[in-house]
Amino acid sequence: MKSAIFLSIIIALCISSGCPNAQSISSKKILIVYLSRTNNTKAIAEIIHNKVGGTLVALELEKPYPENYQATVQQVVNENETGYLPPLKTRIDSIQNYEVVFVGFPTWDMKMPPPMKSFLHQYNLSGKTVIPFNTNAGYGVGSGFQTVKELCQNSKVLEGFSITGGMERDGVYFVIKGEKAKEAETEVKKWLQKIKVTE
């Protein structure tokens, strides 16, 4: 009898609270930082923002990359070879107030783009939960997520999300729109539930 009453209480509590397994995080504590050249990573960042709330910040450089694709490719190759970290125009106040930081970037040269490396070097994310997301031309994330782990060794890095975006080399730019955007939203929702950021 007692066990039946206890079970009834547990069920009642579950009904009232929804028995959440997801992390209970105030949207004020969530930061979504992204780098986007063709707006595909921006589209994913906005989908995440719609699901979890928080502050959405686009990374901008003091000196933007050239509009010409091949010129940008060459500059990025040089930056990767030399370890150069391009200075950011973007400034984020009170980074210490955020508990969860999403970091989104495209795959460039099968690596994390230098501007995102600049962000991860410039801001101390120790003790925070860091969640990477990525768009790419179909070749995958490369070493990008591994670089997040290497640069955030004192953070809790969760499983990342990756999706195929545009192929600028072939003149295919913004593709995460229309049906593709709906598919992406479904995939992002599943991912956020899997890593227990949303229910």
Note whether residue 58 is domain-resident: yes
- Answer yes or no: is pLDDT of 17 > 80: no
Note whether residue 88 is domain-resident: yes
In sequence order, what E strands does the chain have?
Answer: 30-34, 55-58, 100-106, 129-136, 156-157, 161-164
- Answer yes or no: is pLDDT of 163 > 70: yes
Q: Each residue of 91-117: pLDDT tens digit?
A: 998 999 999 999 999 999 999 999 999
- 93 lies in which domain range? 28-194
In the prediction, which pLDDT does 167 show? Answer: 80
What does the pLDDT average to over 12-40?
70
3-state secondary structure of 8: helix
Note whether residue 16 is domain-resident: no
Note whether residue 8 is domain-resident: no
Confidence band of 11 (pLDDT split at 50, 70, 90)? very low
Note whether residue 170 is domain-resident: yes
Cβ-proximal residues to 37 (8 Å cutoff; 6+ apart), any chain:
65, 72, 106, 168
CB atoms within 10 A of CB 38: 20
Give yes or no for a contact between 126 and 96, defined as CB atoms under 8 angstroms apart.
no
What does the pLDDT average to over 57-75?
96
What does the pLDDT average to over 154-162?
98
CB atoms within 10 A of CB 112: 28
Note whether residue 3 is domain-resident: no
Give yes or no for a contact between 33 and 103, defined as CB atoms under 8 angstroms apart.
yes
What does the pLDDT average to over 120-139?
96
* Percent of the chain whose pLDDT exceeds 90: 78
Check which CATH number belongs to the domain holding 116 and give it: 3.40.50.360
In the prediction, which pLDDT does 23 show? Answer: 52
* Strand pairing class (161-164; 129-136): parallel
Quote the number of domains for the chain.
1
What does the pLDDT average to over 2-30?
50
Residue type, 34: Y
Note whether residue 153 is domain-resident: yes
Confidence band of 24 (pLDDT split at 50, 70, 90)? low
User: What is the Cα Rg of the chain in Å?
Assistant: 19
Note whether residue 175 is domain-resident: yes
pTM: predicted TM-score of the whole model, two decimal places: 0.86
